[in-house]
Structures are given as structure tokens and as C-alpha cells.
Structure 1
Amino acid sequence: MSHSIKDDEVDIVIAALHSDLTSLLNEWRPVFSRFHIIIVMDPDLKEDLEIPEGFNVDVFTKSDIDRVVGSSSTIFSGYSCRYFGFLVSRKKYIVSIDDDCMPAKDNQGFIVDIVAQHIANLTTPATPFFFNTLYDPFRKGADFVRGYPFSLRTGVTCALSCGLWLNLADYDAPTQALKGGQRNSRYVDAVLTVPARAMMPVSGINIAFNRELVGPALFPAFRLAKEGKLRWETVEDIWSGMCAKVICDHLGLGVKSGLPYVWRTERGNAIDSLKKEWEGVKLMEEVVPFFESVRFNRASVKAEDCVVEMAKQVKEQLGQSDPVFTRAADAMVEWVRLWKAVGTSSAVPEG
């Protein structure tokens, strides 16, 4: 791998909602076979996993989750089980996909190596404080444009890499319902740094991050039940992503978006999705201005410190408008507690 990253510095985390992973892993074999893989089963999945030979895999089931995190295990249901993989990993870099993501092909018909591209994003500087109109200036064949301040050309460390999807793009339920036949076939060969203080929706389906720098900032705070229904089931990673973005801004870290792509094969029913996410869609109008206003104490120099500080602001500024925010704030503090506790747990895979 390029950029002096060793294979044993990377974990592939796969959230498994389906039992037969044979086709998935065989499709990814050219890319994933060199790396340690953490597969986290949705606690509601009853069947045993079918995994082909030839992979270095650790599988975590509901009983494993219960043993490691105890009463907090309910937050790891559905595709939120991916966050448990983030929790127990011991590697510097994590690449995360869901089990309905297949390899995409680039404009020349070659399989996209998402690990190599994500690691390239994370190991080359980001430029959040001044936008380069040629996108990533550190990519081969590109550079800084005329007028870009020389004092900012060294860039900063990139902590989060957000990949995209081909076939089924990341649309919300209303857009899915109105444009049910729409497919994304545009492979845009570009990476850009998201500017500082700019919010963005993040999907946990195809991301990579430096776990040492921002691992505690990626958490399932909105995996909260109310009246037996999950209010933010399809919007929870957007909340998590905005938390991570404002923390990266505070810590002087970069976030990139663009390459690499995956091929998304499953989206679910738009009407069912709308029922699950509608409360979150409405609350988003309050959430975005809040994140735009978040500021941290200069003494908060680690992601986990920022999460705790942000939880207090969530409770104070948003908690009065809806109790779900108070519960989210409590979950954020609980996540930091888990992050610190599981860090010394013997239940963690060695790879």
C-alpha cells in the first residue's frame, strides 16, 4: 500500500444485517484479503453467518456485544452495530462499509480499491481553511492555484474520509419516493476538503477515519427508542457526522469527501424509511444551526473531551425543545465512558 501504511494498521469494519456474506466477501477479496476484518452482526439477525475461507475475520454477535458493553448494548442494533466495530478495533485506521456495498468500477472499468483511496485521503494533508479550486492539491497532477496563501499550503492532518455511492445514491426518503427509478452513474474522479465551519451529511456506509484522532467522535447517540419505535433510524449517522465535523474543526483536523465509490445494491422501501426518519427530518432544522454555533474550550484537545463538552451544550440548548436531545446528550457521555472502558477490555480482537 502507498503512503507508508502497513496492512496491519487497518481494520475493515462490516455491519452485517444479512447472514450470507459469501458473495460480498468474494467480490471484495482482491481488496480485503490482506486486512483484518471485523464483522458485527445485527443483534436481531438470528442465522449464523456464512463466510468464505481465506479472510482474517473476527465476528461479534449479540452475546459478544452484551458481554463487552452490558446495558448499553441496545444502541448497537441495525446498521448501528458498525459502531461496536469502531469501539473494539485496535487499529489506527478504520474503513467501514455495510453488507449491501459491492466494489464499484472506475471510468476505465477497474475495481475501485476503497482501502487504498481512503488511506490516500487520510495520509495526505487536508486544506479546510482556504478552498483550492482544483480540489485536492496533493493529488498527482494537481497543485495549488494562483492566489492560494503559501502559509496554508502545508495543510493539516486529515482525520475523516467520506466516500460516495454509485447506483443508489444517498437520498432521503422523500427524494426516494419522488425519484424511485433514479440511479447515480456519475463517477466523478475527484476528492475535496470540506471547508472549516461548513456542515455536511455523513453516511457511515462508506467512510474511513483515523481512530486515534476522531474515533470517540463517531457514535450512535440517536439510537434511542421511543414508544417502541426508533425515531432517527436512518438519520443517526448524520448527527454523528456533524459531531465529528465540528470536533475536527476545533482540533484543526481535515475532512475529505469524494473518492472512493462503492456500488450500493439495497435501499429499502421509501415509505417505510420516511416513517422512521420523519421526526429526525423535522428536527434537523434545529440541529444544523446548533452545530454551526458550537464552540469548545481551548482545554478540550482530545475528541473524547469535545464529545463530553458538546453533550452539555446539546442538553442545555436543545434539550428543552425535545427530550430526544437530552437522551442523546446522555448517550454521548455514555459513549465516552464505553470508549475508555473498552480500551482495556480483553474481549477486543488482536487482528
Structure 2
Amino acid sequence: MGRMYDFFASHQLLLAPMAGVSDMAFRTLCREQGADLTYTEMVSAKGLSYANEKTRHLLDLAQGEDVVAVQLFGHEPGVMASQAAWIEQAVGDSLAYLDINMGCPARKIVTKGDGSALMRDPDLAARIVSAVRAAVDHPVTVKFRRGWAQGQETAPEFARRMEAAGACAVAVHGRFAEQLYRGSSDWGTVARVKQAVSIPVIGNGDVKCGADAAAIKQQTGCDAVMIARAAEGNPWIFAQAKAALAGEHPPVAPTVEQRIAMARRHARLLAQREGRNIVRMRKHAMWYMAGLPGAAAARGKINACVGVEDFDAVFDELLEIAGAHA
């Protein structure tokens, strides 16, 4: 437990695991801006057990990525344990810890009994944690939500169960699973979980700017802060959060030119990894250019982009429009 407190003392700002988002390119940019630790995209234990190359591909690390957390999802204790052991071997010394996803509210995840569905079955959740903990040498953490059903907070008791089962830390998001991403995240939940357990607690949910990172720590006493959707198209949030946690003035917001330059770099990093077809850059490009002059008109063009030069052409246009608006 002391080891984990020491770890989070120097790893305060975490990039959340986000399916289809936290790939190697995005993790690189967030680390450069100040993320202390990034998670891979969440990995299916079942997919790994089938030796699925598409799933194993998610565990590849970026150049210079010397520490990473891996989040595993599934609901079968034996499969989760065996695949956790495989991940530990595959990732080696770069693995910070293994996280078990008990928070994802997506229909395709919960209908299989994975993600936040496990909050409805604390006994099974505890068996999974115990099995994974017994199978690996690295710390095991659990990420979950305020509760399953709207209005029924179970997170503090659930956190105690996970700690008793062997969890070394927990991350809690202050929305109910039934809320999905609607409404607001209750940071009070994070504070109540912090009071309920003796292991480190990571606060998550509605950290939308640097000042929010300092506020959630101050209001809840959490040991680290996890940022998810607010980092999409905005890796600079980590630099802003780092300044806020240190009590320093926030860095100046990125200019249009800096936003476009970051988007270009993101596309090139993706191309190094994926080759000519980087259609997955489309959503990232939309996020980078959100709110810029001409962004609405450029959306259709972005949806037709395939390679780096396609994206560059749209970015060039946006820079021209921004110049005309200056």
C-alpha cells in the first residue's frame, strides 16, 4: 500500500483509458504536455485469450513510454487472471499496474456482464480482483462508478469490498452507470470513497480544465486525478493541470496555429504506426478544430480524409480562414 502512495505522490495526473482514443500517438502527446501516467485503451481479456492480434496490438508502447497502466475488462475470474499474467509478461518493466474496468457503462460492454455491470454483483467483482491479484506480481487497481442505478450510491461500500479482495488502489467516477455521461459528476462520491478505504483513491469525472484538477484534489482529498474526455483534442490540459496543482499561473491557451500544429503532429504519429490509412484521426481532428472559424464547414471534408496529406489540406484551409479572421 505504501508503494502505491509513493507512486501517486509522483504520478498525480493520469490520462484515462479510452477505447479508440488513448492510442500510442495520443498518449505521447499527453505525456509531453505533463501527463504523469497514461493508460492503454481498455483491453478485452476474452480477446487476449483468443490470441487476437487486434487486441494485443493495444499493448504496444510508444517510443520512450517507460511506464504505462493497462486496463483489462471481462467478467470471468479465471480468464481475467490468466490474461493479466500474460499482460504482465508482455509489458514487462514498463507496467505500472493492472487496472480492472468496473466502470464502463457502454451497452455493448455491460450486456456481456463486463464494465459497470460488475457493480451489480460485488461478490463476482471481488472474486475477479482476488484472482487477478493472485496471478500477478504488479499492483492491481479497480475503476468503477458512483453506483449502477441512478440515485443509489454504492461506491464507498464497493470500494471497501475491492480493498478487502486485494485492490491496491481504486479510481472512482462520480456518475452512476445509468447516467452514462449525462448530468454531472458528483465529486462528493470521491470524497466518501476516500473516507471509506485506506488505499489510494484516484478522482475522475468532469475534470474539464486545469483548475478542476486542483479543485477535485482539494475537495475530495484524492491522491491522483484522472482526466478523460477533456483531453480529447486538448493535450494541453495536462500542462494547465500541472500548473494548477503547483499553485502557478496557468500557461497561455494554445493559439489556432498551435492547435493545428498539434493536430498535424498527431496525424503523423498515427501514420508512423498505422501506415497510410489513418481514418481514426478523423475524430481527433474534429476535437482539435472545435470552435475554430470554419470548423463546421470543414467537418464534411474531415470525414472524407484518409491519409496525412488529406488532413493537411483541411488544416491548411483552416489556417487560411483563421488568418482572414485575425
In the superposition, the TM-score normalised over structure 2's length comes to: 0.24
| Higher relative contact order (CA closer than 8 Å, sequence separation 6+) | 1
In the superposition, the TM-score normalised over structure 1's length comes to: 0.23
